[in-house]
Amino acid sequence: MLPEDKLREEVKLLTKAMNAKELEKAIKYLQSIVGQTTEETLTNPMHDDEERTEEDNTAIAQGKGDIKAGRIHSLDEIKRHGDLVVMSMETYERKLAQADLYQKLAEAESQIKNGEPLLDAEYVFEKLRGKYGKE
């Protein structure tokens, strides 16, 4: 995280580029979050003074339907189940591959420790080249 003086300077630069309406919204937002944790800020969002569109209503209905069907979880449900983790599929797959690699390394170390015969790397690669036809 940046030092406080750098953060204040960044806020100054951002506000200089804002028009009056944007400044007013920024002030209201900052006033609404001062002294609150991130969770409190998300739980008690600022009032949105814009009218809901049909697209908004459709998205809200779809979200409620997804929660009811169990396809997604509400914040309250996530709070009740402390073991629930949310991550991207890319991160999840990388973590699975890493866990698989660690398991295979542990098995290999155990085989070495138990004196089991090892395969010769040159032999293994020769067999793979023969099977997949790559040089």
- Cα 12 to Cα 19, 35, 73, 108: the distances in Å are 13, 20, 38, 57
For 10, list phi and psi in degrees, rounded to 5.
Answer: -65, -40
Give 42-93 pLDDT, tens digit per residue: 777 766 667 888 998 899 899 888 888 888 877 777 777 767 677 888 888 9
Q: Which residues contact 109 (CB under 8 A, 6 or more apart)?
A: none
DSSP collapsed to 3 states, 27-66 = HHHHHHHCCCCHHHHHHCCCCCCCCCCHHHHHHHHHHHHH
The pTM score is: 0.34
N residues, the chain: 135
Q: Per-domain residue ranges for the chain?
A: 1-47, 89-132
